[in-house]
């Protein structure tokens, strides 16, 4: 049976008209589905019992469920989330003193093949539906209220999958999250993180969504980056930079470069110089992300001196740099680890 959440407001309106109902019923149902995140047609109490039964004969709601929940001593909560067809993705709640961030997945597995990533080992099974993305946000909002007594404040598309490879549903889910009559999230608190597909970056810039963009760079030396992220061989860094400049000129939003520094991979002065040259071409800042190892030993977090060297040289060059400490180190924190385990 079809999930009623695949219908747009217009389609819902047509559906109710076809049932001989008033068009405003569509708005009532839409509100239950997208503003209240209700997962039961039966509980739509402002509809008659008869109408609810009629709808339930044709449509269903396929909510996500939490299959496994891991809590870290630092407050991070990692959810292994089960989809209606039994596939698993991960959704993580990351708390700080002042905010709660939801890290959501956009695909089951991933179409790309970054060497350092646990998700890359799961082949891409399918794209997530709009409702499956929104459900992750609603789930983490509920967990934030339950465990931290405050609503969710930020959303990052940094979970499993490359958001740009599920472009249509990611964009639609952002529209649902930011709809003032729905969840009402501020777009400025939503970050789409991409491994860099120039055409899609340009498309997203044209959407006028007012979200932020993060780009997983990891090396500004072309050859090295192509080894770390083999698919990126198709997209030269100059082409990616042009799309980032297009993003900035269209949205006015600076780019965040996500960057891990790995021992014996990208921890030299030459790497830093290349990064500085890259950053200077577009308004941007750098997030140095501490790496959660995935167990094969090839990629290891660099030592403290190498990290400090990065910070010193970037700051000297006038580039804003933040260190993002690893969270959830005592649980399967690296994206894809939990789902990998379940598929063993």
Catalytic site residues? 90, 335
C-alpha to C-alpha distance for 284 and 248, rounded to whole angstroms: 9
Q: Which of these segments, 31-39, 116-124, 167-175, 297-305, binds ligand SF4 (CB under 6 A)?
A: 116-124
Least distance in Å: CB of 161 to ligand SF4?
6
**Which one, 59 or 157, has the nearer CB to ligand SF4?**
157
Q: What share of the chain is helix, strand, coil (3-state, %, to 5)?
A: 40, 20, 40
User: Which of residues 44, 64, 114, 130 is near ligand SF4 by CB under 6 A?
Assistant: 114
117 touches ligand SF4 (CB under 6 A): yes
In this structure, are residues 298 and 262 in contact, taking their beta carbons and an 8 Å threshold?
no
Residue 219 near ligand SF4 by CB under 6 A = no
Q: What is the H or E stretch that residue 297 is in?
A: none
Pairing of strands 126-127, 212-216: unpaired
CB closer to ligand SF4, 27 vs 224:
224
CB of 47 to ligand SF4, least distance (A): 40
Does 119 participate in binding ligand SF4 (rule CB under 6 A)?
yes
Q: How many residues sit in the footprint of ligand SF4 (CB under 6 A)? A: 11
* Residue from the set 132, 135, 162, 267 that interacts with ligand SF4 by CB under 6 A: 162
Rounded CA gap, 237 and 326, in Å? 27
DSSP string, 52-103: HHHHHHHEE----EEEEEEE-TTS-EEEEEE-TTS-EEEEEEEE-SS-EEEE
Q: What count of other Cβ atoms lies within 10 Å of the Cβ of residue 11?
A: 12
> Which residue in the set 4, 41, 83, 110 belongs to the binding site for ligand SF4 (CB under 6 A)?
110
Contact 160, 109 (CB under 8 A): yes
- Check residue 64 for interaction with ligand SF4 (CB under 6 A): no
Stretch that binds ligand SF4, among 58-66, 154-162, 260-268, 295-303 (CB under 6 A): 154-162
Name the residues that contact ligand SF4, by CB under 6 A: 110, 112-114, 117, 119-120, 160-162, 195
């Amino acid at each position: 049976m079809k999930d009623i959440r695949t219908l747009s407001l217009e389609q819902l309106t047509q559906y109710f008209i076809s049932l001989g109902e008033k068009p405003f019923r569509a708005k009532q149902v839409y509100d239950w589905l997208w503003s209240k995140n209700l997962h039961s047609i039966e509980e739509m109490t402002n509809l008659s019992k008869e109408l609810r039964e009629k709808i339930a004969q044709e449509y269903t709601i396929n909510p996500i469920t939490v299959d496994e929940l891991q809590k870290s001593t630092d407050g991070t909560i990692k959810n292994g989330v089960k989809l209606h067809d039994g596939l698993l993705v991960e959704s993580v709640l990351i708390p700080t003193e002042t905010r709660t961030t939801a890290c959501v997945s956009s695909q089951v597995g991933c179409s790309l093949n970054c060497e350092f990533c646990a998700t890359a080992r799961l082949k891409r099974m399918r794209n997530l539906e709009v409702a499956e993305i929104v459900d992750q946000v609603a789930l983490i909002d509920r967990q934030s209220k339950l465990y931290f007594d405050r609503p969710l404040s930020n959303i990052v598309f940094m979970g499993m999958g490359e958001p740009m490879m599920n472009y249509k549903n990611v964009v639609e889910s952002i529209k649902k999250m930011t709809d003032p009559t729905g969840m009402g999230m501020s777009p400025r608190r939503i970050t789409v993180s991409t491994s860099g597909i120039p055409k899609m970056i340009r498309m997203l810039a044209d959407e006028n969504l007012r979200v932020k963009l993060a780009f997983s760079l990891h090396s500004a030396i072309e050859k090295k980056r192509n080894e770390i992220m083999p698919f990126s061989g198709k997209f030269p860094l100059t082409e990616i930079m042009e799309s980032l400049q297009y993003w900035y000129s269209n949205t006015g939003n600076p780019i965040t470069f996500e960057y891990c520094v790995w021992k014996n991979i990208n921890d030299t002065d030459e790497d830093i110089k290349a990064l500085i040259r890259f950053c200077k071409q577009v308004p941007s800042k750098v997030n140095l992300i501490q790496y959660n190892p995935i167990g094969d030993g090839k990629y290891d977090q660099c030592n403290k001196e190498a990290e400090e060297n990065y910070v010193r040289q970037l700051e000297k060059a006038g580039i804003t740099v933040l260190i993002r400490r690893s969270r959830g180190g005592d649980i399967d924190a690296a994206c894809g680890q939990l789902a990998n385990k379940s598929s063993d």
